[in-house]
């Protein structure tokens, strides 16, 4: 399948000047997408752009990520009604260094457009670059609409539609994004933690380091000791002995994945 057909099938193709000329391009022709250094890190929206560059690279193109060292100093070309604050030199250099490292981690060649323009004055720019700009085309240009499809999309969509409450589509997409942005190990960790929090996962299968990842995401208390009744009241999970007994009688309280009915059950740090 050609790269254009693949993009069309994925719903991330808008238009092209000449598909016939595109299909006649020689091997290793360059293709680029720009990334402005407006923050210290790329965001999820950039993942779509990166994935498209990677698809072009797999199809034999020379994929280039253009870092907006020059355009990032000027203003926001994204079509917003308000202009962003201009970045000072120190902030811009810091942002560029961090984003460059992120882009290179995907195996992309990164070039800084500041290198193109830093020695060019206004007249040089108008003569060399301005003559190539089609004003009518620029005025009519829309922001490219794109979306990211997960692998095996048909089966995932079918499963998702058959049981919307399972949210299998969202889970599959989240897993693939975490795997690609971080690593397979991180994706597996995230899946395991999510199953413990929201599914039928067993907390006893988690390592101490995995348990520590809950800190900041859910209320977390360390090194608790004492009777279950006293611990629940001390952390604010119950307001009274009576409320503790109500929770226990309805099977609400679990320790290490096991329902506890005894209010005097001894809580100690670690896993039993």
Positions in the chain short of pLDDT 70: 1, 75-85, 121-123, 125-126, 129-151, 181, 199, 215-217, 269-272
Q: Quick one: CA dihedral 66, 67, 70, 71, positive or negative?
A: positive
Q: Identify the architecture of domain 3-119 in CATH.
A: 3-Layer(aba) Sandwich (3.40)
| pLDDT the model gives residue 61 | 92
Amino acid 172: pLDDT: 80
CB-CB contact of 62 with 109 (8 Å): yes
pLDDT at residue 26 in the model: 86
Give me 170's structure tokens. Answer: 């969202």
pLDDT at 204: 75
- Ranges for all domains in the chain classified under CATH 3.40.50.620: 3-119
State residue 148's pLDDT score: 44
**Helix then strand then coil, % of the chain, to nearest 5:** 50, 10, 40
DSSP structural state of residue 182: T
């Amino acid at each position: 399948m050609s790269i254009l057909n693949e993009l069309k099938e994925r719903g991330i193709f808008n238009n092209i000047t000449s598909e016939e000329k595109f299909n006649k391009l020689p091997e290793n022709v360059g293709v680029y997408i720009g990334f402005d250094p407006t923050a210290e890190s790329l965001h999820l929206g950039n993942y779509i752009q990166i994935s498209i560059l990677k698809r072009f690279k797999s199809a034999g193109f020379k994929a280039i990520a253009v870092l907006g060292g020059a355009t990032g100093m000027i203003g926001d070309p994204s079509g917003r009604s308000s202009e962003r604050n201009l970045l000072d030199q120190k902030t811009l250099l810091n942002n560029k260094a961090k984003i460059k490292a992120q882009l290179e981690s995907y195996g992309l060649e990164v070039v800084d457009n500041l290198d193109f323009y830093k020695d060019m004055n206004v007249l040089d720019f108008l003569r060399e670059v301005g003559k190539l700009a089609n004003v009518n085309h620029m005025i009519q240009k829309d922001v490219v609409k794109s979306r990211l499809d997960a692998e095996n999309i048909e089966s995932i969509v079918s499963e998702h539609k058959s049981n919307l409450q399972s949210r299998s589509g969202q889970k599959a997409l989240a897993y693939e994004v975490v795997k690609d942005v971080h690593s397979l190990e991180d994706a597996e960790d995230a899946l395991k933690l999510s199953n413990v929090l929201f599914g039928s996962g067993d907390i006893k299968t988690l390592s101490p380091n995995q348990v520590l990842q809950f800190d900041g995401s859910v209320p977390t208390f360390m090194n608790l000791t004492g009777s279950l009744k006293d611990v629940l009241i001390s952390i604010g999970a119950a307001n009274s002995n009576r409320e503790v007994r109500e929770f226990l009688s309805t099977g609400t309280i679990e320790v290490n994945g096991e329902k506890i009915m005894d209010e005097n059950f001894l809580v100690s740090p670690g896993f039993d």
